[in-house]
Structure 1
């Protein structure tokens, strides 16, 4: 079985009782909310990754204010060619503060030419969501993990 490791960095941006989330098409095409962030490029520092990915997915410029923790996930996934891959995801979670930019959905980001974004990105919308509404959202488990780290600030980061 092929093995794959993916390192990614994500932001928890909370202000005025709301958290910044991005929307991604989930399994079966059902949209789900995710933390803004994503995979590191080869040679890229995780700090730079989260700043870049938040800008690409939301239109905002952010300042990283804290390292909240590291989360690891391992699972076996089928590939589109029928083989399985042993996937190990290492997710670095940062607290970040918005310092500039404008919240725009992906379609408008692509058409404005203002903020560089990834072509064919994995998110189509970004929005502030009330913290109290998050439990009712269709979301990936990493959203809950990130918010728990943000609330609890565990010294060991887990």
Structure 2
């Protein structure tokens, strides 16, 4: 079985009861809202990753104001090209405050749109589960930075055709 580890950093930026989100095309082509952020480059500090990724995806510069938590997620993919994959995502979630730049959209990247969304509207959006997890961390602020309830069993099985 192939094993894959992906470390990434994301930002939760909330102001005036709105959260900054980016839009991704989604795995099946259906647009879905995601947190600004993404994968760390080899040797990159996650603090620098979150600021770089947010700038790339939204045009904003942020000040990191806190570490909300760390999420670890595993997903076992069914055999693809004759090989199963055990994917492990390690996600660092920061709180950020916009300190400069102007809202713009990423060109040629993993997202195609960015916008401030009302917190009250988030439950009605097509979004990745990480958005809800991050908002829980932002609201609950567990001292240990880890949510124990609603954690998916490890590893999850996913059948792909």
What is the CA–CA distance in structure 2 between the aligned matches of 1:62 and 1:79, rounded to whole Å? 40
Using the size of structure 2 for normalisation, the TM-score is 0.87
Structure 2: tracts of 5 or more residues without a match: 147-161
What is the CA–CA distance in structure 2 between the aligned matches of 1:82 and 1:99, rounded to whole Å? 48
Find the counterpart in structure 2 of residue 126 from structure 1: 114
Find the counterpart in structure 2 of residue 26 from structure 1: 26
Please report how far the alpha carbon of residue 82 of structure 1 lies from its aligned counterpart in structure 2 after TM superposition: 4.5
Find the counterpart in structure 2 of residue 156 from structure 1: 144
After superposition, residues 15-94 of structure 1 pair within 5 angstroms as: 15-78=15-78, 81-94=81-94
Cα gap change, 1:77 to 1:66, in 2 (>3 Å): same
Q: Does 1:146 align with 2:134?
A: yes
Please report how far the alpha carbon of residue 83 of structure 1 lies from its aligned counterpart in structure 2 after TM superposition: 2.3
Please report how far the alpha carbon of residue 81 of structure 1 lies from its aligned counterpart in structure 2 after TM superposition: 3.2
SS at match of 1:147: helix
1:98-145 deviation digits (Å, cap 9, x = unpaired): 0000001224xxxxxxxxxxxx31100000000000000000000000
Q: Structure 1 residues 72-81 or 89-98, which shifts more?
A: 72-81
What is the CA–CA distance in structure 1 between the aligned matches of 2:112 and 2:19, rounded to whole Å? 17
- Measured on the aligned residues, the alpha-carbon RMSD in Å equals 1.2
Cα gap change, 1:61 to 1:80, in 2 (>3 Å): farther
What is the CA–CA distance in structure 2 between the aligned matches of 1:66 and 1:34, rounded to whole Å? 20
Matched residue pairs, number?
146
What is the CA–CA distance in structure 1 between the aligned matches of 2:102 and 2:77, rounded to whole Å? 36
Cα gap change, 1:79 to 1:52, in 2 (>3 Å): farther
When you count helix as a share of all residues, which structure comes out higher?
1
SS at match of 2:133: helix
Please report how far the alpha carbon of residue 84 of structure 1 lies from its aligned counterpart in structure 2 after TM superposition: 1.9
